[in-house]
Amino acid sequence: MADGPMLAGKVALVTGAGGGIGREIALAMALEGARVLINDIGVSLAGEGGSATPAEQTRQIIVQRGGEAAISTDSVADWASARRIVAAAMDAFGRLDIVVNNAGILRDTIFHRMSPEDWLAVINVHLNGSFYVSRAAAEPFRAQESGAFVHMTSTSGLIGNFGQANYAAAKLGITALSKSIALDMKRFNVRSNCIAPFAWSRMTSSIPAETEAQKARVAKLAQMTPDKNAPLAVFLASDAAAGVSGQIFAARHNEILLMSQSRPLRSVQRMEGWTPALIAAHAAPALKSGFLPLDRSEDVFPYDPV
């Protein structure tokens, strides 16, 4: 591999880069030589309000370190404004090489109390926003026959969690979006991958810490700072990841995991065909040993961060 910054000469667009994981990715990409378009509308965790201050703070850090950055305060959750975000990167730096879809909000509530407004708000930012920004960026990527997408997914979607039907559905949808982009745009030398980040930030600060067990869990989560996810994002955006596309990774403190994707586990067949009664009597019992448990992310990752 050639010496020097991994992203020298590249332009990166990072959404939700006003704080948390997005800010750390933007800072890391700038340190590796990228010029960065920082997109953040400066809203609350629930998506309310708005301020240019978070994006400007990230820009100032990059500039103080000798890097180049510009800001955009347009929302990802609208097609026209998403196109303005991509145009802002092109206007500021003349090209675009990397898109990190990180912007997000939370409207957590148990499913039977979730309102249509809470559902749509989260879907619009996470899933629709990832599509809008990616689709807008696909045009310059296709024209230059190169580009890299890095999308943020979550184990809430990959595995499951309580009270996050909207967030989980959006985050699992993003993995399918990423795979589709990887397939459709391979001919243009465009790659697309996902990261399921583990980090203590305002997106996880609402986790309850009332019982001793909950307090112990939160203390462990707090070890996993947002910056631990940035090296993987930089790698996936770089030319060093030229052969990596359509994959789902997770970054958990000092651990990097490759996550599975849906494939057949077991099968049964009956040449005469099936009736509901035969399925109950034969197919379901034969497949039962392969059933996945009704588990959550913390059940799959019960061990301390390494």
Mean pLDDT of 253-270: 96
Place of tokens 């997106």: 203
User: What is the DSSP pairing of strand 190-198 with strand 248-252?
Assistant: parallel
- pLDDT band for position 206 (50/70/90)? low
Q: What does pTM read for this prediction?
A: 0.92
Residue among 262, 258, 268 nearest 288 (CA): 268
Selecting among 132, 167, 200, 249, the annotated active-site residue is 167
Q: Please give the pLDDT value at position 284.
A: 98
Domain residue spans of the chain: 11-261
**Chain segment 26-51, per-residue pLDDT in tens:** 999 999 999 999 999 986 666 666 67
Reading across the β-sheet that carries 69-72, which strands appear in turn? 69-72, 35-39, 11-15, 98-101, 147-152, 190-198, 248-252, 255-258
Tokens encoding 240: 């060093």
User: What is the DSSP pairing of strand 147-152 with strand 190-198?
Assistant: parallel
- pLDDT band for position 196 (50/70/90)? very high
**Residue 221: is its pLDDT beyond 80?**
no
Q: Please give the pLDDT value at position 252.
A: 94
CATH T-level assignment (fold) for domain 11-261: Rossmann fold (3.40.50)
The answer to whether 132 is a known catalytic residue is no
**Chain segment 106-138, per-residue pLDDT in tens:** 999 999 999 999 999 999 999 999 999 999 999
**Chain segment 132-152, per-residue pLDDT in tens:** 999 999 999 999 999 999 999
- pLDDT band for position 207 (50/70/90)? low
- pLDDT band for position 201 (50/70/90)? low
